[in-house]
Amino acid sequence: MYLGIEFGSTRIKSVLIDEKMQAVAVGNHNWENRLEGGVWTYHLPEIWAGLQASYADLAENYGKPLTALSGIGISAMMHGYLPMDKGGEVLTEFRTWRNTSTGEAAGILRGRFGHNIPLRWSIAHLYQAILNNEPHVKDIDFITTLAGYVHYKLTGRKVLGVGDASGVFPIDAASHSYDRTMAANFDALVADKSYEWKLADILPEVLLAGENAGQLTAEGAKLLDPSGTLSAGVPFCPPEGDAGTGMVATHSVAALTGNVSAGTSIFAMVVLEKPLSKVYPELDMVTTPDGKPVAMVHCNNGTSDIDGWVQMFAEIVSAYSGKPVAAVDLYETLYKSALEGDADGGGLTACNYLSGEHNTGFEEGRPLFARMPNASFTMANFMRTMLLSAMASLKLGMDILAKEGVTLTQLLGHGGLFKTEGVAQKLMAGALDVPVAVMDTAGEGGAWGIALLAAYLSHSGETLDAFLENRVFAGQAGKRVEPDSADKEGFAVFMERYEATLRVERTAVESLGGHM
């Protein structure tokens, strides 16, 4: 049995798979980030309470004692900032990928490296802390991501999978490790600070998929399973980010394959066969878990605004009926209604920015909904507008790849946006003008993907792509939807309104007050 655990934005999910790579038990724990003092964060005790709750739920659902495992993998939201001192204590609040307050640092590093440095990358957070003269920087012994932090506490190893590491600092394509020239450049940039550390000293070791990343220690076993049932000694695969596990979960690790992960954030991963012609601030250059170059279009804002509206609608229905409504039924009803709406949303518009959005230059967000006085204000058009809004920032980045001549035969979709069969899939095919396929396994998501990477430890004699092709996805084609001409034309009209709405969004950010 192999265990995968993924720390998503709103859920910590555990998946247990067998030798046939099929899920045999699942565990869940819901959690939510919070905005405190202008920082999007999770409290550290929530990490451990959530890990234990998710694992306990999985163990209960499995129904038999879990005393031993053949492999474990940890995945989490990519990027962010967790600096630790020599005693292994975290020096600041956990700063998540959602923070967009690192614009000054990212801009300086981008110009110095000649490489795009997104706002949420760990190196941008580190350099911004230096620019802000934060006192903790001098005490740093190690920085990592959330996946790397949990892995370290369970195994004692300060490592990252190359996919997650590529969101910490730029990766050299030949060595599959941090770019040494850029690292020396960074050290020279901060030399006047006289820190005791060099950048190479504080970054986690980079590992490729299939490499052993340590074993579950006795302390780690108690941290994961306080009941004491699970034994120490289980081998771990390298910890990965949710982008990497999404590629694995959708069999998108070969050149010119791609996938879209759509949940709290929404992002597309496109595996490249050749470098892009220049640096684009809208595109992150990262890697697959086995080190291939990937162009990532990452948007901070996905389904959170939709979730807020659905929650309010649930309250309305419950107040009317006198009994609670099942969330899954409400989502299905509302999502399916979107297919009955006008192709362009009927004159409605929305901006789903709960937080900042780097693709369009926003450090903060204010969710907006607006309509023309003569718009067709129906449930169908409202839901279609909400769904199209969740895809709009992604479209801007994907257009850059199209201009670069990157041609995809299809995108594979996974994540919460695709749970209602055929709805978001159809709308996204029209929005991006590319066929979108969804596999039956897509609902398992990144937790299943990291469980597969744990299983790959036992099959690392073959390439990752071959392992997935032959042992996991053999015979699976998925349900594919072609772009519809009416959807394409309607989305083009919607995008004109959306881009105009961004001017309103700018005013809203400036006018509607500061952080709560």
In sequence order, what are the beta bridge partners of 74? 5
The whole-number average pLDDT for the span 260-271 is 88
Non-local CB neighbours of 141 within 8 Å, separated by 6+ positions? 84, 85, 86, 197, 202
Q: How much is the CA Rg of the chain, to the nearest whole Å?
A: 22
Q: How confident is the model at residue 442 (pLDDT cuts 50, 70, 90)?
A: low
Q: What pLDDT, on a 0 to 100 scale, did the predictor assign at position 477?
A: 66
* Confidence grade of residue 495 (pLDDT, cut at 50, 70, 90): very high
Q: pLDDT value at position 414?
A: 83
* Chain centroid offset of residue 86 CA: 29
Angle between helix 327-338 and helix 304-321 axes, rounded to 10 deg: 110
Q: What are phi and psi of 344, to 5 degrees?
A: -100, 5
Tokens for 136? Answer: 């903790």
Mean pLDDT to the nearest integer, 436-448: 76
The identity of residue 89, as a single letter, is E
pLDDT band for 514, please (50, 70, 90 cuts): low
Q: What is the pLDDT of residues 341-364, one digit of tens each?
A: 999 999 999 999 998 898 888 989
- As a whole number of angstroms, the distance between CA 478 and CA 370 comes to 36
Q: What pLDDT, on a 0 to 100 scale, did the predictor assign at position 281?
A: 84
Beta-bridged to residue 350, according to DSSP, are: 369
User: For residues 42 and 215, is the Cβ–Cβ distance under 8 A?
Assistant: no
Q: What share of the chain has pLDDT > 90, as a percent? A: 74
Is 461 strand, coil or helix?
coil
**Residue range(s) in the chain whose domain bears CATH number 3.30.420.40:** 2-241, 304-438+484-511
| Buried residues in 9-45 as b, exposed as e (16+ CB within 10 A) | bebbbbbbbeeebebebbbbbebebeeeeebbbbeee
Q: What is the pTM of this model?
A: 0.81
Give Cα 237 distance to the centre of its chain. 19
Dihedral (CA of 6, 422, 464, 165) sign: negative
pLDDT tens across 191-212, in order? Answer: 999 999 999 999 999 999 999 9
Produce one character per residue of 193-222: b if its CB has 16 or more CB atoms within 10 Å, e if not: eebebebeebbbebbbbbbebbbbbeebbe
Residue pair 61/27 in contact by the 8 Å Cβ criterion = yes
Beta bridge mates, 206: 160
CATH superfamily of this structure's domain 304-438+484-511: ATPase, nucleotide binding domain (3.30.420.40)
**Residue 246: band (very low, low, confident or very high) from pLDDT cuts 50, 70, 90:** confident
What band does 139 get if pLDDT is binned at 50, 70 and 90?
very high
pLDDT at 173 (0 to 100):
85
What confidence score (pLDDT) does residue 516 get?
46
One of 3.30.2130.10, 3.40.228.10, 3.40.50.300, 3.30.420.40 is the CATH number of 2-241, namely: 3.30.420.40
Confidence label for 6 from pLDDT (cuts 50, 70 and 90):
very high
Give the DSSP H or E segment for 480. strand 479-481
Q: Which residue has the tokens 């006047």?
A: 192
Q: Provide CB contacts within 8 A for 108, sequence distance 6+.
A: 127, 189
Task: Name the least confident of 6-20, 228-242, 409-423, 453-467.
Answer: 409-423
- pLDDT for residue 278 is more than 80: yes
Per-residue pLDDT band for 279 (boundaries 50, 70, 90) equals confident
Confidence of residue 443 (pLDDT cuts 50, 70, 90): low
Report residue 393: phi and psi, to 5°.
Answer: -65, -35
The single-letter code of the amino acid at 115 is H
